[in-house]
Structure 1
Amino acid sequence: MSSRVPAPRTDGGSGGILGVDGAQLARGAVDAIAARAGAADRDGELPAADLDELRDAGLLGLLVPTRLGGFGGGFADWADAARVLASASGATALVLNMHTSVVGALARTPDELARAMGAPESFFLARDQLLARAAAGEFIAVAMSERGAGSRLSALATRYRREGDGYRIRGVKAFCSGASHADVFFVAARAAESIPTDPIDPTAPLDPSTSAGPSGPAMVSHFLVPSGPGVSVEPSWDSLGMRGTGSHDVRFDVWVPAQALVGGVAGLSLLVAQGMPQWLVASYAAVYAGVGRAVFDAGVDHVRGRRGTGMPPGLAGLPAVRARFGQADAALAALDAVVDECARRIDADPGSDLTNRWVWRAKLLAGRTVQDVAASIVEACGTAATRRGHPLERLYRDARCGSLQPATSDVCADWLGLAALGGDPEADASVARW
């Protein structure tokens, strides 16, 4: 565990209730992480040294309560830290986001809510033990998405079933960020009995999104599975952007004890995800806001560097180029304001209808704003910025991924549209959100 003392907030910002400054914690790691970002993108792997930087800064325990060795931060502290980290490497910030999403959901779900949903008392001890290990530097990777299903939990093929006094989990996960370095995997799976099978071939599951089975999507549960026997990382990550996340496939055929079931009750973690979607939705927004600002700064450096080179009027002297930067500056400032308002509401009133509307707004605006800003800045900077190895070429590819990650921009917009028109965004969507 990091021995650093939580830094008191002195700027009047919107940090967590204990005043830890997430941005200040992150600043101690960014220089070294930025220096490795290009190589990480080229190699398609998260550098182990980046994870060490995050540990040393205490960022794995940012949201862990102080009684368990963490900094006791809130969502706003994560939003501040994420934007700073993403200015150095969007990929590394995204990996930490996955870890933080699990820690935040466990640490910030009120005990009384968990009890009301059926969590047994044994869950709270297991939760505290996991959070203490996170504060001490244990890294949690999220194994939720699958090929063909994406992040739609109701369409998962990975299944679990009771086996003795525990559970057997079988399946293959995709897009598991930081998989090569995980100490623990947060695994989403459907109860085997809730996955209907093909009557001609009983071993072949049907698409559960078309036939939910007797238990339906609520029988999706999450498990904390330690790395080791029965868990194998299959190097497969070769993507357009966010290549430095090393988001490989992971195969599971593993038995876990009963206490590995998150919440201690089948389906509980999915109910929490629906009620407080910030941990699967808005947590991405701050990362991409930081990527957008990194695009802007790299564009400024490029344009200034082209002045006085003997070429026709420097790019900075062209009104059209200046206008693009002016539009980008306004768009990114507006996105930051939305992220800040979303974070403030999450810390003050998590799970309320109005707060959740801000959660979906933040994710939608982050995905759309950052990809538009990146496209405009690259066009302003010209063909030279698209060469492999140029910071803007990598950042452009990273920025394009924001609208594709869960929840996608189309899903976010549909949720908001249903809410605006008086519908129930969770019940009235024609396709299950999760």
Structure 2
Amino acid sequence: MLADRLLPTTEAADLIALTREIARDELAPLAAEYEEAERFPREQFALLGKSGLLGLPYSERWGGGEVPYEVYLQALEEIASAWMSVGVGLSVHTMSCFALAHHGTDAQRDRWLPAMLGGELLGAYALSEPHAGSDAAALSTRARREGDHYVINGTKAWITHGGQADFYTTMARTSESGEETGSGISCLLVDRETQGLSAAPPERKMGLTGSTTSQMIFSDARVETDRLIGAEGEGLRIALSSLSSGRLGIAACAVGLAQAALDEAVAYAKGRAQFGRNIIDFQGVEFLLADMAAAVESSRATYLEAARRRDRGKPFQRQASVAKLVATDAAMKVTTDAVQVLGGAGYTRDFPVERYMREAKVPQIFEGTNQIQRLVIARDLKNA
């Protein structure tokens, strides 16, 4: 059973209860089928939008829930526990809305944000490139100004919802000055119908197979200048700010996945008898389960502390990196141990833990690899 929540208000408790109900009744029963078929869960994202769950941390003025990040992340954990692809997709969508919500003009927000937060438009975040992943400042996609348009050329890689999204929050180089520092990078909100924008065939992945990931190719793609978010040259700063919050989303998803694996392992151990008693009564198994539980609960506490700092307006970038590092490493360990508890059964697709184990790997990689998180943490310590 998922852990009880320490929530700040009755309204927050009601929101989490609603989220848990949707996750249990509408998401969990479909997860294995959709992942097996590599089917994108667009209908489920629409349901989350209608339920008010696609814009939880954003302003009510534009249709958001305006809840603290602490509460949003716990809702996200519930969803990821039921279906990791949908949880990660919600986290990515939330991050894709960040630039417009925090750096757009009121006119831009009025025009696009309500549909984003209401589920009519699904987002993607286009920063990484084939040769610019961890080194975001090295991106080579260019946006050349021509009158009232930017003409974009380049390729974005590893785009969650690539080819499925309705908009792409895209970082492109608008100036050659500051190429080493990324000061010439700008943020553009690109519509999926933009001429010259196309998706490559989806990547063939070991996990999160219900979540489409592909390259996005810009070939003289013409984007109106009123889709520039913030000023020219502010794109990398916007991107890094988005990532700090996005890393907390991935941490919450990782905890949800680990919680699901722990729940499955405990249930199996209670019902599997060997040598005349249930295997949960053997010290070798009960200690393994205890370590799994400790990893899940400590990871949850880590992301909640970072979220509370964010909600109080305090610096939280280091804590976000800590949470992402700790939670995703824990999820990899917990899901691996869950397979071990189930033994041979855990290695089959008759039980979900083999899928959980495959899904746990990529959170250690995206939104900044865990090696990059260690770099961020170390640099912050040096500068403290």
TM-score after normalising by structure 1: 0.80
Specify which of 127, 134, 137 is matched with residue 109 of structure 2. Answer: 127
Equivalent AA in structure 2 for residue 368 of structure 1: D
Q: Is the 8 A contact 1:63 1:70 kept in 2?
A: yes
Is the alpha carbon distance of 1:370 and 1:133 closer, same or farther for their aligned partners in structure 2, counting shifts above 3 Å?
A: same
Aligned to 2:153: 170
Contact 1:363/1:407 (<8 A) preserved = no
Distance 1:413 1:219 in 2: 26
Residues 237-288 of structure 1, C-alpha deviations (whole Å, 9 max, x = no match): 211222221112222231111111111x122232234457522422211111
What one-letter code is carried by the residue in structure 2 that aligns with 1:261? L
Q: 2:351 aligns with which of 387, 390, 396?
A: 390
- The aligned counterpart of 1:232 is 198
**1:217 partner SS:** coil
1:333 aligns with 2:294: no
- Residue 197 (structure 2) pairs with residue 219 (structure 1): no
- Distance in 2 separating the partners of 1:158 and 1:389: 44
1:77: which partner in 2?
A: 71
1:64–1:131: 8 Å Cα contact kept in structure 2?
no
- Structure 1 residue 151, shift from structure 2 partner: 4.8
SS in 2 for 1:60: coil
What is the SS of the residue equivalent to 1:129?
helix
1:279 pairs with one of 228, 234, 245:
245
* Residue 22 of structure 1, CA deviation: 4.7
Give the Cα separation in 2 of the matches to 1:12 and 1:369.
21
What is the number of residues matched between the two proteins? 376
Change (3 A) 1:44 1:276: closer
Following superposition of structure 1 onto structure 2, how do residues 140-155 of structure 1 map, counting pairs within 5 Å?
Answer: 140-155=123-138
Q: Does 1:26 align with 2:19?
A: yes
Measured after TM superposition, the shift of residue 298 of structure 1 is: 1.6
| Separation in 2, partners of 1:274, 1:172 | 20
TM-score after normalising by structure 2:
0.89
Aligned to 2:85: 91
Q: In structure 1, what residue type is equivalent to 2:75?
A: A
In the alignment, what sits opposite 1:206? Answer: none
* Corresponding letter in the other structure for 1:169: I
Q: Which amino acid aligns with 2:106?
A: F
The residue correspondences of 1:39-50 to structure 2 (distance < 5 A) are 39-50=33-44
Equivalence map 1:253-402=2 (5 Å): 253=219, 254-263=221-230, 265-274=231-240, 277-307=243-273, 313-350=277-314, 352=315, 355-402=316-363
AA paired with 2:373? C
Task: State the distance in 1 between where 2:271 and 2:78 align.
Answer: 24
Conserved 8 A contact 2:285-2:341 = yes
**Contact persistence 1:38–1:389 (CA under 8 A):** no
Percent identity for Structure 1 against Structure 2: 28
Contact 1:153 1:220 in 2 (8 A): no
Kindly tell me: are residues 275 and 134 of structure 1, through their superposed partners in 2, closer, same or farther at Cα, counting changes over 3 Å? closer
- 2:183 alignment partner, SS class: helix
CA distance in 2: counterparts of 1:21 and 1:233, whole angstroms: 40
Q: Is the 8 A contact 1:25 1:58 kept in 2?
A: no
Change (3 A) 1:27 1:105: farther
Change (3 A) 1:276 1:189: closer
Write out the 4+ residue segments of structure 1 that deviate beyond 4 Å after TM superposition: 18-22, 310-313
Q: Is the 8 A contact 1:219 1:267 kept in 2?
A: yes
Deviation by residue 1:401-431 (Cα, 9 ceiling, x = unmatched): 22111221111112212322x238xxxxxxx
Structure 2 residue aligned with 1:63, among 46, 50, 57?
57
Residues 334-368 of structure 1: CA distance to partner in whole angstroms, max 9, x if unpaired?
A: 11111111111111115x2xx22211111111121
The alpha carbon displacement at 1:226 in A equals 0.8
Q: What secondary structure, in the 3-state scheme, does the structure 1 residue paired with 2:124 have?
A: strand
| Structure 2 unaligned blocks of 5 or more | none
Superposed CA RMSD in Å reads 2.5
Deviation string, structure 1 residues 52-98 (Cα, Å, up to 9, x no partner): 22122221222331122222223122201110000111111101111
The answer as to whether partners of 2:73 and 2:252 remain within 8 angstroms in 1 is yes
